[in-house]
Structure 1
């Protein structure tokens, strides 16, 4: 069996570095595209629901009804955008999307409140967006429940019952993301997703470019082995990818205010392993594709499933077991757990060894498959 020769490996590295310098568009993609995508998705991908547009039909104008409306507004979840009269006007606003919810206060609301009778209010919710609908419903129920309890306590105190203490209390403490901001959860995931897509697309063109430009013939007559060629081609891109990763890491930390709670050296080390994995995956794609267009199509065909299966958008625990198993063939699955663990929880390698091992096994597996796919000949 032929041994690995460093001279041949470094020759491929030097050749690829020269190629990268000449290919300015690809270099721009590697350096500028990650920042553009991070800014774009960093502001666009936001699951926090605030300022839900609410239209009010107050049929019982009084201090009591205005206080109820203020309680909705003071949560900063709801925003009153209009005061209407009649279901026709309300339904028109819900239909055209200018309002998400409608609060209807009946004519007998104030009278029943003065008599300490049970008063019903109505909330119409546009359920076309389940996320907004669930947020509106849960917050409205909480507001009405708290107001009902407060009014009941006030009534009992007037009757001489004294101060009413609840029989049970819940003390909560939110760890890792106390304000439960979606951006704190999304930015680490975006960094991993962006780096996967950019680096994989860059190397997906690598061997295909050799075929299209006719330089594959030069490689055929050389004694370069598949492993030397693979590693030689991805080595320069590891440096480019690591530089891009540091850029998006700085932007995510200082611009979006998502600090790294764990070890930065550990994060960088595991990021290099991830970059090598995605770069080798790009090389594998280039061994399958015959043209750069095919390489692009295969890369994008892999990107969408990786977004869905990795846990970037949806929690993997709620997925069927078979889908979770398929997610194990996506390196982003392991890297997202590593990123969020180091970013949010500040954990060390002792807590991340399973994901690190999984990503390392996938890296070795895809390297072997790419080597087997590669043939130093023109078909």
Structure 2
């Protein structure tokens, strides 16, 4: 064996590795797919400048000036006041359900307040979303067109009056942690069984594909609920993050999300051949979920195409459920569209995953 360095032998090894990489379609796809996905997401879909936030207006003055105020605020394109209400209580209910992000209150003595010291307008915003609070500050004061009068807006952040960042972060962090652990743990565990030859042994037993799949993932359900409890306890102890809604309903939402994440992990395990590939594929699914779900970047700032993709992702709906229950005190009856979307995703992917496991066993 020669001790002299040979560029010819080095080139042979490099060519061999490139050929092997070309045959590994998943890794090859990741090399192209991950930078492409990140470029598109960060360059096109991520936008901190939110526009057209859904909002409602309660015009108790019903004057020409009050209607002019609504029109000018609408032209700012920060909020979209497309819902006219008669009572502030109705607006608060819409805020709790997450149907609007803000409610503009124009009091009956609006004209008199314009000439006095009290703010003539009141904007109640969903304080559980920091992006909404930042957007509201853009219209804190604005001049009325055609006059020398400046209308000031009193911003009232409901659910997070002190603007504590952890109140917004911790509920979403539950979903992020469950996404990372449940998907990756499940995918790796099932692939490891195949690599170690245990799967072939289990095939010889009377177990059906459904029994085998559920038996493998049920322990992870318990792990996911333990992780949920840990984040809730630490969030309460360290950051004073409340659970204003029903803890039972929060755990039901978390359980459904855990099932959806486990189904995604099972599905990934049927597509890959090694634990390394399972990790790669799991990471590939993390990127769009974390970036498009509204956890890191505002959902309302994304273009419509990115929002459509976000609506397909389970983390998007769980974050809305967690923030609604924990911060706004909403119930599952208030948030049923998010619960339904999560249930459909979990059921559909679980059926597909079990079917693919059955096919692999055959």
TM-score by length of 1: 0.54
Q: Find the counterpart in structure 2 of residue 277 from structure 1.
A: 260
Question: Contact conserved, 2:209 with 2:361, CA < 8 A, in 1?
Answer: no
**What is the aligned counterpart of 1:302 among 270, 285, 301?**
285
1:344 matches 2:303:
no
Q: State the 1:377 CA deviation.
A: 5.0
Question: Contact conserved, 2:180 with 2:286, CA < 8 A, in 1?
Answer: yes
1:353 matches 2:336:
yes
* Aligned pairs, number: 220
Cα distance in 2, alignment partners of residues 167 and 296 from structure 1: 57
Cα distance in 1, alignment partners of residues 224 and 170 from structure 2: 18
**What is the aligned counterpart of 2:305 among 322, 342, 351?**
322
Question: Contact conserved, 1:199 with 1:241, CA < 8 A, in 2?
Answer: yes
Please give the per-residue CA displacement for 1:203-240, whole angstroms capped at 9, x wherever unaligned. Answer: 11122111110111112212322211221111111111
Q: Which structure 1 residue ranges, 4+ long, deviate > 6 Å from structure 2?
A: none
Question: Contact conserved, 1:342 with 1:348, CA < 8 A, in 2?
Answer: yes
Please give the per-residue CA displacement for 1:229-268, whole angstroms capped at 9, x wherever unaligned. Answer: 2211111111111112101110011211111111111101
Please give the per-residue CA displacement for 1:257-313, whole angstroms capped at 9, x wherever unaligned. Answer: 111111111101111111111112111111111100000000001111111111111
**What is the aligned counterpart of 1:311 among 294, 299, 302?**
294
What secondary structure does 1:289 align onto?
coil
Cα distance in 2, alignment partners of residues 377 and 196 from structure 1: 25
Max Rg structure: 1
What secondary structure does 1:350 align onto?
coil
Cα distance in 1, alignment partners of residues 310 and 195 from structure 2: 33
Cα distance in 2, alignment partners of residues 294 and 168 from structure 1: 59
**What is the aligned counterpart of 2:182 among 187, 199, 211?**
199
Please give the per-residue CA displacement for 1:67-91, whole angstroms capped at 9, x wherever unaligned. Answer: xxxxxxxxxxxxxxxxxxxxxxxxx
**1:11-160, aligned counterparts within 5 Å?**
none
Cα distance in 2, alignment partners of residues 217 and 171 from structure 1: 67
Please give the per-residue CA displacement for 1:180-207, whole angstroms capped at 9, x wherever unaligned. Answer: 2322111111121012111111111122
Change (3 A) 1:167 1:300: closer
What secondary structure does 1:205 align onto?
helix
Question: Contact conserved, 1:220 with 1:377, CA < 8 A, in 2?
Answer: no
Question: Contact conserved, 2:213 with 2:357, CA < 8 A, in 1?
Answer: no
What secondary structure does 1:170 align onto?
strand
Q: State the 1:168 CA deviation.
A: 4.7
What secondary structure does 2:330 align onto?
coil
Q: Find the counterpart in structure 1 of residue 30 from structure 2.
A: none
Cα distance in 2, alignment partners of residues 361 and 182 from structure 1: 32
Cα distance in 1, alignment partners of residues 159 and 150 from structure 2: 30
**What is the aligned counterpart of 1:183 among 166, 175, 181?**
166
Q: Which runs of 5+ in 1 are unaligned?
A: 1-46, 48-134, 146-165
Question: Contact conserved, 1:200 with 1:281, CA < 8 A, in 2?
Answer: yes
1:290 matches 2:267:
no
Question: Contact conserved, 2:270 with 2:360, CA < 8 A, in 1?
Answer: no
Q: Find the counterpart in structure 2 of residue 230 from structure 1.
A: 213
Cα distance in 1, alignment partners of residues 248 and 155 from structure 2: 33
Please give the per-residue CA displacement for 1:65-116, whole angstroms capped at 9, x wherever unaligned. Answer: xxxxxxxxxxxxxxxxxxxxxxxxxxxxxxxxxxxxxxxxxxxxxxxxxxxx
Cα distance in 2, alignment partners of residues 248 and 269 from structure 1: 16
**Higher-strand-fraction structure:** 2
Question: Contact conserved, 2:317 with 2:341, CA < 8 A, in 1?
Answer: yes
- Aligned alpha-carbon RMSD (Å): 2.4
Q: Which runs of 5+ in 2 are unaligned?
A: 1-47, 49-133, 142-148
Please give the per-residue CA displacement for 1:301-327, whole angstroms capped at 9, x wherever unaligned. Answer: 111111111111112222122211111
Cα distance in 2, alignment partners of residues 265 and 328 from structure 1: 25
